[in-house]
Structure 1
Amino acid sequence: MAYFTPYVDASGLHTPTYQDILDDLKYKMKAIYGQDIYLENDSADYQMLSIFALKIADSYQAVHYAYNSRSPDTAIGAALDSIVKLNGIMRKSAGYSTCQIIIKGTPFTEIVDGSVADRQGVIWKLPHSVVIGSDGAIKTIATCEIAGAVTALPGDITTINTPTYGWISVENKVSAIPGNAIETDGELRERQTISVANPSQTMLAGTLGAIRALSNVARVSVYENDTNISTVDADNNPFGLPPHSITCVVEGGDDEEIAKAILYHKGIGCYTNGTTEISLKDENEYINKIRFYRPTYVPIHVNVAIKKYTGYVAHLAQDVEEAVYNYLEMLEIGRDVSISMIAGIVMGCNPNPAKPLFGISSITIGREADDMASGDIDIGYNEVASPDYSLIEVGT
């Protein structure tokens, strides 16, 4: 393609390539000094022209970046940060993983600025002051001191990092909620799209989008009951959603920020349902009580009996265990555990589905080890399945 003057049309900015620029410089050089001038790759004149062409091409590339910085669809880095500020949002910095832990020791022992450590030696900080309960135990939240998606499986956090008289042990029975890595350009663009769309959606969708946009929020479910009666399940038992209410179940995030997102998007006269209650004062000095739920974690027991075929190798059992764990971990709040999904995931561990190395003899799942069955597990609206490798058994 021959050299052309840069221009802008309906399809955007157009600039010549490095090779187009270099060819044009060689053409102009020959026009000045004659067609017999030597401009092959090994000549000094060619080397000088290639330097000029590269500098010009670099400048055109910078113009492209500046041109693209006008739109959130094409802006990158700092330019994208500036664009999304027009929508009242900013790039999320890296968050910190949190984990619910159980501290045991002498009743009423106070732990000040304590910390614990996991199997990898990563430090998790406790709240400024933690007081052990009258029964010798207390549940609290430990925050990882390293930003990003640091993980901890059940049973990983067992070391007391700051010994305190009367503090005996620490344990995590649930997996940590991973913190967010610093938000990528793609994630920020997606959130910018949500922020623009929220006002045109229903208030329920707007509330969901506002909570999802908060820093360090992992999973969210929002339910609405627009009737005059409390909802009931299939057995006519109260489902927990009061009349004319919304129920938000949120994993991760800051309590007050979540409450603000609900208050500003829920709509007029709508009751907020939940066990976590935050009092917020609005611009009219009126105190609003905003409620929402934190999810209840349900440990899931899984027993898979596989039947060996010709060519079976031992590591496939471990592959099945990991695949089942990953399925349970990805389930959203309120999502039932499907035994048919587990069966499909197990069979998917065969390297070649056309020539399987194993089959399934049986699969049973349950909330308790003594209540296993070959049917789905119902998960409540404010519950979430919690995987644990020690509860997943794969045998032959």
Structure 2
Amino acid sequence: MLDRNGFKRKRYSDLIDDMVLKAKELFGEDVNINEKSFLGILIRLFAWFLAIIWEVAEKVYNSSYMHKAEGIQLDRKAWEFGIARLQEAHAQGNIEIHGTPGFVVEEGTLFETSSGVLFELTENVTLDESGVGTGLIVCTEPGTKGNVTVNSITIVSNPNENITSVTNPEQTEGGRARETDAEFLERYQQTLSGLGSSTTDSIRAELLKLNGVRAAVVIENTKSIPDEAGRPPKSISAYVLGGDANEIAKVIFQKKAAGIEAYGTEQVQVYDMAGYPRSIGFSRATEVPIAVQLTIQKNDSFPIDGVKQVKAEIIKYIGGTDEDGTSYTGLNMGETVVFSKLINRVYQIEGIEDVELLVGLQGQELGTSNVTMDITEVAQISHTDIEVQVV
């Protein structure tokens, strides 16, 4: 029912109880309403279908509220505030091709990693006099699996005698899975403070709406002198994890107050409505390398590839790239690497009796304490920085 306290759905058992009471009221207390009687079967049949209707009514009611809406209903509520769910995206990057000078590598040529992640060339590439050319490639499948490490794309899917070798000199980026309801709702809540303008919260909120931006923080220096981090007086500094530089700069320019400097290590030129160029600065989040050492006591149910699975669980939690070249988002800016959560991740793998784990900054002494991050830092780890000993 719907009253001042909200909507409360009647369930199958509630409907049976109500209909049994009504049957006794109409036909007497001794009416036969057991499960095998005609009236009992009829009551349960109607209750089953009515329960479905009550469930639909509850979903209709909940779809009016962001924290209870699901799926497309959540999308439509967020649209009212100008926020759209981040869709799945294909990773992209550059490929360096070596081969016969003057040979034209046609658009659509496929390259792949040793684990079978396919990339397609998006333009014709003519090899120069040295037999070298570069071109843009896009992963054929969306998702994080396309975010592969440097020099991992080394195979020409359809071998050609005019192509001797290929590689990716930089990591491919931009691949992501479709934003889940939980992730979308969290980002929506973070943007609630961004309905105004010219505030650090509103700038951050707009940055979080951009495709590919995992996290952002905006720091202002309101003093008349540079602050301890070297930020100029009367300036703002945006620290962003992921996203396109041009889109980030446009958002900062549109949201910041007039006369306030947008300071950062990256400078991007944008144009105002009058066509005048404006230099907008922002900084990328500092990626802090983490190292982990484990000693695992296993039993007979420990899988053959258990060590690989253990490393994958740790990378999924912290963030980074696994042995197959797949990248995971992991922790956001400023989030602490929690020791107990790492232990819990390891125990997700079957066949582990006991674990001794050490964690810390790469190149420093490891321990059993949490690893804290500055608000402009984000923890990252590679499979090569996870040492696992199984006994």
TM over 0.5: yes
Residue from 120, 140, 143 that aligns with 1:145: 140
Q: How many residues align?
A: 366
Q: AA paired with 1:103?
A: E
SS at match of 1:125: strand
Q: 1:28 matched to which residue of 2?
A: 22
TM-superposed CA distance for 1:165, in Å, is: 7.8
Q: 2:86 matched to which residue of 1?
A: 92
Q: 2:120 matched to which residue of 1?
A: 125
Change in Cα spacing, 1:127 to 1:290, as seen in structure 2 (3 Å) is farther
CA distance in 2, matches of 1:323, 1:20: 43
Change in Cα spacing, 1:27 to 1:225, as seen in structure 2 (3 Å) is closer
TM-superposed CA distance for 1:125, in Å, is: 3.4
Report 1:38-77 matches (<5 A).
38-77=32-71
TM-superposed CA distance for 1:152, in Å, is: 4.9
CA displacement, residues 302-332 of structure 1 (integer Å, 9 cap, x when unaligned): 697x9999x9x99998799778866573576
Q: 1:213 matched to which residue of 2?
A: 209
Change in Cα spacing, 1:244 to 1:328, as seen in structure 2 (3 Å) is same
2:112 and 2:153 in contact (8 A); partners too: yes
Change in Cα spacing, 1:199 to 1:165, as seen in structure 2 (3 Å) is farther
TM-superposed CA distance for 1:246, in Å, is: 3.8
Q: 1:267 matched to which residue of 2?
A: 257
Report 1:174-193 matches (<5 A).
176-177=172-173, 179-193=175-189
Q: 2:325 matched to which residue of 1?
A: none
Give TM-score, length-normalised by structure 2: 0.68
Q: 2:154 matched to which residue of 1?
A: 158
Q: AA paired with 2:259?
A: G
Q: 2:327 matched to which residue of 1?
A: none
CA distance in 1, matches of 2:160, 2:280: 37
2:310 and 2:346 in contact (8 A); partners too: yes
Gaps of 5+ in 1: 1-5, 234-238, 367-372
CA displacement, residues 71-104 of structure 1 (integer Å, 9 cap, x when unaligned): 2122222222221111111222222234x55514
- CA-based RMSD of the aligned residues comes to 5.1
Q: AA paired with 1:23?
A: D
Q: 1:3 matched to which residue of 2?
A: none
TM-superposed CA distance for 1:217, in Å, is: 2.0
SS at match of 1:146: coil
1:156 and 1:172 in contact (8 A); partners too: yes
Change in Cα spacing, 1:130 to 1:259, as seen in structure 2 (3 Å) is farther
Change in Cα spacing, 1:82 to 1:167, as seen in structure 2 (3 Å) is same
Q: 1:80 matched to which residue of 2?
A: 74
Change in Cα spacing, 1:51 to 1:95, as seen in structure 2 (3 Å) is same
Q: 1:16 matched to which residue of 2?
A: 10
CA displacement, residues 327-376 of structure 1 (integer Å, 9 cap, x when unaligned): 5735767999x9xx99x979x9799xxx988798x99945xxxxxx659x
Q: Which moved more, 1:265-274 or 1:133-142?
A: 133-142
Q: Which moved more, 1:289-298 or 1:264-273?
A: 289-298
CA distance in 1, matches of 2:259, 2:210: 24
Change in Cα spacing, 1:208 to 1:112, as seen in structure 2 (3 Å) is farther
TM-superposed CA distance for 1:12, in Å, is: 0.7
Q: Which moved more, 1:143-152 or 1:85-94?
A: 143-152
1:221 and 1:334 in contact (8 A); partners too: no
CA displacement, residues 93-143 of structure 1 (integer Å, 9 cap, x when unaligned): 222234x55514368876553542122322123453567789876777643
TM-superposed CA distance for 1:21, in Å, is: 2.2
CA distance in 1, matches of 2:274, 2:32: 81
Residue from 91, 103, 110 that aligns with 2:96: 103
CA distance in 1, matches of 2:42, 2:53: 17
CA distance in 2, matches of 1:335, 1:180: 20
Change in Cα spacing, 1:51 to 1:395, as seen in structure 2 (3 Å) is closer
TM-superposed CA distance for 1:172, in Å, is: 4.3
CA distance in 2, matches of 1:394, 1:14: 51
**Identity over the aligned pairs, expressed in percent?**
24
TM-superposed CA distance for 1:271, in Å, is: 3.1
Gaps of 5+ in 2: 321-329, 367-372
2:98 and 2:166 in contact (8 A); partners too: no
CA distance in 1, matches of 2:208, 2:86: 12
TM-superposed CA distance for 1:190, in Å, is: 2.0
Change in Cα spacing, 1:139 to 1:292, as seen in structure 2 (3 Å) is farther
1:174 and 1:386 in contact (8 A); partners too: no
Q: AA paired with 2:38?
A: A
Instruction: Mark the structure with the bigger radius of gyration.
Output: 1
CA distance in 2, matches of 1:242, 1:165: 57
